[in-house]
Homo-oligomer: A and B are copies of this chain.
Amino acid sequence: SIHGSRLLRHIQQLGKIGRDPGGQLTRLAASDNDKCGRDALIAWIKEAGLEAAVDRIGNIFGIWRAPSQEHQAPVLIGSHIDTVINAGVYDGCYGVLAGLEVIRTLREAGFTPSRPIAVAAFTNEEGVRYAPDMMGSLVYAGGLQATEALASVGTDGSVLGEELARIGYAGTEEPGFMKPHAYVELHIEQGPVLESMDIPIGAVENLQGISWQRVTIEGVANHAGTTPMPMRKDAGHAAARVITFLRDRAIHSQTPAVATVGCIRFEPDAINVIPSRATFTVDLRNPDEQSLQAEEAALDEYLTELANAEGVTITTERMARFEPVIFDAAIVGLVEAAARQRGLTSKRMTSGAGHDAQMMARICPAAIIFVPSIDGISHNPNEHTPEPDLVAGANVLLDVIADLAR
């Protein structure tokens, strides 16, 4: 079994890095705070006696291999250490640090793997600063050119490639340099299912599709006091209609569709001026590709109607689009078996969040292990998973990795 208190200590230590004076945790990809987190991870990788490597998109690897295994495909454990704004400490970090702990435990136990075992921390999984999300693993899996990804312009106007160079994490390895034998990710559920059913282990068999767009509505700025209601072309009001449309549609959907508007801006942004422009993001998800396409089509149709009805102009820009993913049945089976062996109940389930595993599934057998999230809260400082669940999840990971590398 893994060294529980060591894992928990590392999680708390990493969670202290990148807090603002008010105590909020924000380690956006390739920021100064991310550099501090990365430096800590590299130090732990070396302390564990592993080889450290960084590729061109800034993905960090800690590799355990015998000299004779140089050209063998590793079993890869991965996740990310970048965070959202005002984040919790578990999202991503738990999976990376548990991966490191599993490798240390196997080494300390004298386990002799038949192939390398490595842990990866992928760049910009959250997608908060640069789109798309899961960028590091997407590039690693060959789904996006490194050069194109490095040219991404962030919400703050920064360029990812320049930022990675600035913080010293523009590595030299070519993304994809180690083709994995298998990929396993351990992650908090970030949703309410496991906790509400009192089940400690989720064997994630699929992951829903993700559609990200930016919508821009152009109306006409005019005086808030003198412009009669019927004469307005209010971009802000039109944006509000879209938000309520998306909510009403998702809430009444027969499918498990979700829809979120997380960012919005009005221009000129003055109390007594009718907004001439509104821009906002739309995040649509569905485990079924047909259904996700139907949601996208319904939005398109609504935007066309709305533009006509309100006399505004509406344009959309694609920020990310990932189809649903089905994970490797054999690894999902290993997760279930490992849980059973340890006397833990488990449940096959769908991931609502995007994860690096969804990209890695393009190049090797992959799956995810979930542990419960209290109240389903994530992307929030109140994100929490009880310590016994964190340790149990890492032990299931240990057993699955040992099976894959035996």
| Given A244-B241, A260-B274, A225-B212 contact (CB < 8 Å) | no
Compute how far the CA of A85 lies from the CA of B191 in the bound complex, rounded to whole angstroms: 43
Compute how far the CA of A84 lies from the CA of B237 in the bound complex, rounded to whole angstroms: 20
Compute how far the CA of A189 lies from the CA of B353 in the bound complex, rounded to whole angstroms: 53
A243→B237 contact, CB < 8 A: yes
B273→A225 contact, CB < 8 A: no
Chain A positions 215-254 with a Cβ under 8 Å from a chain B Cβ: 220-231, 234, 236-237, 239-241, 243-244, 247, 250-251, 253
Indicate the size class of the contact surface on chain A.
35 or more
- Which chain B residues lie closer than 8 Å to A261 at the CB level? 236-237, 240, 266, 275
Any chain B CB within 8 A of the CB of A283? yes
A30 to chain B, nearest CB (A): 16
B225→A272 contact, CB < 8 A: no
A193 to chain B, nearest CB (A): 9
B266→A271 contact, CB < 8 A: no
Any chain B CB within 8 A of the CB of A311? no
A127→B271 contact, CB < 8 A: yes
Binds B, one of A37-45, A158-166, A376-384, A394-402: A376-384
Any chain B CB within 8 A of the CB of A110? no
A266→B263 contact, CB < 8 A: yes
- Which chain B residues lie closer than 8 Å to A272 at the CB level? 84, 126-128, 133, 260, 262, 283, 379
On A, residues with C-beta under 8 Å from B are 84-86, 126-128, 131, 133, 189-192, 208, 210, 212, 220-231, 234, 236-237, 239-241, 243-244, 247, 250-251, 253, 256-266, 268-276, 281, 283, 285, 319, 351-354, 376-380
Other than A240-B247, A262-B273, give 13 A-B pairs with Cβ distance below 8 A.
Answer: A84-B273, A127-B271, A131-B271, A221-B379, A224-B285, A224-B379, A227-B352, A228-B258, A229-B251, A229-B257, A262-B274, A263-B269, A271-B281
